[in-house]
Structures are given as C-alpha cells and as structure tokens.
Amino acid sequence: MSASRFMAFVLVGLGMAACAADSGPKEVSGTALGAVAGGLIGNAIGGSAGNRVAGTVIGAAVGGLFGNRIGAAMDDEDRQRAYAAQMQALETGPSGAPVAWRNPDSGRYGNVVPGPAYQANGATCRQYTHTVYIEGTPQTARGTACRNPDGTWTTMN
C-alpha cells in the first residue's frame, strides 16, 4: 500500500475521531482505529481499483461507526465478518430479514437488518440496523447506505 493511501486512512480516522470528541477516550481511539482498520479491510476486499477505493471508504465509515460504538472490543476478523454481512444485506438481503455473522474464534456475533430500498438523488439507498453482541451484550448502530453507479455502496451517516 502506498504512503499516500495510508495517510488517507489515517486522516479519515482522525476526522471521525474529531467528530466524536465529546466521547470518552476509548470511544475516540476506537473510532480512529476502527476507521483505519475498516478502511484497510475494505481496501483489501474491494478487488479492482474502483471497487478498492469504494471499499476503503465504506470500510472506514463502518469501522469508524463500530469503533466509536464498541471501542476496541472487536478484532480484525470480527470487523471483516461484520463488513461482509453488511454488504450482503445491502446488496441482496430482503427488507427486514437479518443477515447474520459469527466469529467462532472470538465468540462475537451479530446481524444486519436492511430496510426497504428507495431512490434518493438518482441512487438506490437502504437504511440498515447492525447489531453486534460482545460477551452477550448487544451494541446497535443504524445507518443509511446508497449504491454508487459502479455498484458499490457508500455509507451516508
């Protein structure tokens, strides 16, 4: 990975952390680490150059959101499984039907429930609810994602 890409990940993470400045230190550091890790995972999963950029942006947003909500409780494998479930839910999940994920190594699990698709500014969008269970305690995040012209999804929150 190039130095400029890495710096972009860091800047996105720091920007998200700054937005959460009224949170405690664990949430702020979790946001930054989550955004960077999510961006790296999204970049790795993205595939072709255009999809890698979109994957990086989506991964950073998802990672930042979960990093803020859950702190450093999720490991990379948890984040990767959560990201894959979220993309599956947005792309093919029936409205209201949960798409589950589980990491047997950490014991963490969750599900993503997509809402109905709707049109906004010429794009297909969906709201979703992502619930993660850490030591049996649910942590829920809600968001909206819209499909880009190239078929990837961008989180709007």
Banded pLDDT at 11 (limits 50, 70, 90): very low
Question: Rounded CA gap, 37 and 35, in Å?
Answer: 6
- Tens digit of pLDDT for each residue in 30-84? 555 455 555 555 555 555 555 566 666 666 666 666 655 564 578 889 999 999 9
- The residues, any chain, with a CB within 8 Å of residue 78's CB and separated by 6 or more, are 103, 106, 108, 132
- Tell me which residue of 156, 155, 126, 125 sits closest to 42, measured CA to CA: 155
- Tens digit of pLDDT for each residue in 103-117? 999 999 999 999 999
Question: Rounded CA gap, 5 and 26, in Å?
Answer: 25
Question: Rounded CA gap, 9 and 33, in Å?
Answer: 10
Say whether pLDDT at 100 is over 60. yes
